[in-house]
Structure 1
Amino acid sequence: MQYSITEVCNRVAQSLRLMVGVPEYSQYVAHMKTVHPDRTIMTEVQFYRERQEARYGGKVSRCC
């Protein structure tokens, strides 16, 4: 199975985003459309804000 350079780059970029904790909005939209069609889909800004709140709990902790 051969992949184009574009496909490989897209997969590498997606993997790197997941490694550092950046969620995929397009995957969220696809999931919501197939699994929860009755629910309202968040905007991209709302989605990223909600993901940050979930990850960091709205708290900024510092060592100093």
Structure 2
Amino acid sequence: MSVFLHRLRQMARMMVGVPDYDVYLRHMRECHPERAPMDRTAFFRERQEARYGGKNGGKCC
């Protein structure tokens, strides 16, 4: 996939509030290498809870 299409897809997902699992994985590798990342299903559920359930505002650090 071209860089342009990747960025376009990412922007479209952000506009409708769909979390980006690849960005999450990159964040975990860079900022929390000692922690195991959530699988895709757990990540999506956690993001939905953070967005609609109001737990911690969706911020880890």
Structure 2: segments with no counterpart, 5+ residues:
55-61
Q: Which residue of structure 2 lines up, in the alignment, with residue 43 of structure 1?
A: 39
Identity in percent: 50
Structure 1: segments with no counterpart, 5+ residues:
59-64
Distance 1:49 1:32 in 2: 17
Quick one: higher RCO (CA 8 Å, sep 6+), 1 or 2?
A: 1
Q: Secondary structure at the match of 1:39?
A: coil
Runs of at least 4 residues off by over 2 Å: none
Distance 2:3 2:30 in 1: 24
Name the TM-score, length of structure 1 as normaliser. 0.75
Equivalent residue letter for 2:40: E
What's the CA shift for 1:6? 2.4
Aligned length: 54
Equivalent residue letter for 1:50: E
Q: Rg: which structure is higher?
A: 1
Name the TM-score, length of structure 2 as normaliser. 0.78
